Amino acid sequence: MSQYLSPSDLDAIWLTLRLAFTTTVLLLLFGTPLAWWLAHSRARWRGAVNALVALPLILPPTVLGFYLLVAMGPNGPLGRLTSEIGLGALPFTFAGLVIGSLIYSLPFVVQPIRDAFIAIGPRPLEVAATLGARPLDAFFSVVFPLARPGFLTATVLGFAHTVGEFGVVLMIGGNIPNETRVVAIQIYDHVEALEYTQAHWLAGGLLVFSFLVLLALHTLNDRQAQR
């Protein structure tokens, strides 16, 4: 293996997986209540929140990265907050990258879950309540199992999309080994250095990975639908 992938390539892969895993877990944790609110709220500004959540889908990653960099900078609101509570500066750190990824991958996690909640509708929850289930009980015993395909899609898309992140990382993370140098950056470096063989191995790996992930997703969802 190491004749094809250099130690720094392996470091980049490991870092990428850590970033994608952390981001996906955090997004599922915070994205689920947000998706619930978007599916059930009748607040007037729900439309605005929906639009904000979808924004990373169409915004160039450099725009997103630029504003994040400004916000996290020593004079930005986020930067001042983190230095005040003793976390130091976020740009060019793994933590900064996680925050960037959370925003960048937000729609890929929130939208499938929100759509699953909408598809389930209010009835199963009402039935659960009339049978004595507390709201949290009803969520875990009824809503979550029914929304499982949505959660599966959200997990896979959130993970895969974070793995493929480039523009935002370049803007706020730079290129620090074991801290912010993810696979996409590593490929860019190889190409810059005209190391096409190395670039091929990483790029091909990413291609195969993405295809397999999507294939697995569709297979699982088909199997669920047949039940």
Partner 1 sequence: MSGNSALCFDLALDLPQLKIRAAATLPATGVTALFGASGSGKTTLLRMLAGLEATGRGQIRLGASCWQDDTHKRRLPTHQRPLAYVFQEASLFTHLNVRENLSFGLTRARVPDRTIGFHDAVDWLGIGHLLDRLPSHLSGGERQRVAIARALLAQPRLLLMDEPLSAVDADGRDAILDTLEQLPERLGIPIIYVSHSIEEITRLADHLLLMSAGRLIADGPTNTILTRCDLPLAHGAHAGVVLQARVVEHLAHEHLTRLAFDGGELLVSTVARPIDVSARVRIAARDVAIAMSAPTDSSVINHLRADIVDINDDPNPAHCLVRLRVGKAVLLARITRHSRQRLALQPGMAVWALVKGVAVR
Q: Which of positions 85-124 make contact with partner 1 (CB under 8 A)? A: 123-124
Please, what is the minimum distance in Å from the beta carbon of residue 55 to partner 1?
Answer: 31
| C-alpha span between 117 and 120 (Å, rounded) | 5
Q: Does 133 bind partner 1 (CB under 8 A)?
A: yes
Q: Please report whether residue 136 would count as binding partner 1 according to CB under 8 A.
A: no
User: Which residue, among 36, 42, 213, has the nearest Cα to 113 in the 3D structure?
Assistant: 36
Say which residues have a Cβ less than 8 Å from residue 120's Cβ, sequence separation at least 6: 143, 146, 147
Q: Looking at 29, 58, 85, 131, which residue binds partner 1 (CB under 8 A)? A: 131
What distance lies between CA 5 and its chain's CA centroid? 26
Number of neighbours of residue 212 by Cβ within 10 angstroms: 11
Residue 193 structure tokens: 């250095």
Q: CA 106 from chain center: how many Å?
A: 6
Query: Binding segment for partner 1 among 103-111, 141-149, 180-188, 197-205 (CB under 8 A)?
Result: 141-149
| Residue among 60 and 121 whose Cβ is closer to partner 1 | 121
Angle between helices 61-72 and 77-84 (to 10 degrees): 40
Q: Which is nearer to partner 1, 151 or 201 (CB)?
A: 151
17 binds partner 1 (CB under 8 A): no
**223 in contact with partner 1 (CB under 8 A):** no
Task: Tell me which of 12, 106, 142, 182 binds partner 1, using CB under 8 A.
Answer: 142
Q: Rounded to the nearest whole angstrom, what is the least distance from the CB of residue 136 to partner 1 in the complex?
A: 11
CB of 164 within 8 A of CB of 206? yes
Determine if 152 is a binding residue for partner 1 (CB under 8 A): no
Binding-site member from 145, 196, 215, 219 for partner 1 (CB under 8 A):
145
Ramachandran class of 61: left when φ > 0, alpha when ψ lies in -120 to 50, beta otherwise: alpha
The residue ranges that bind partner 1 (CB under 8 A) are 123-124, 126-135, 137-138, 141-142, 145-146, 227
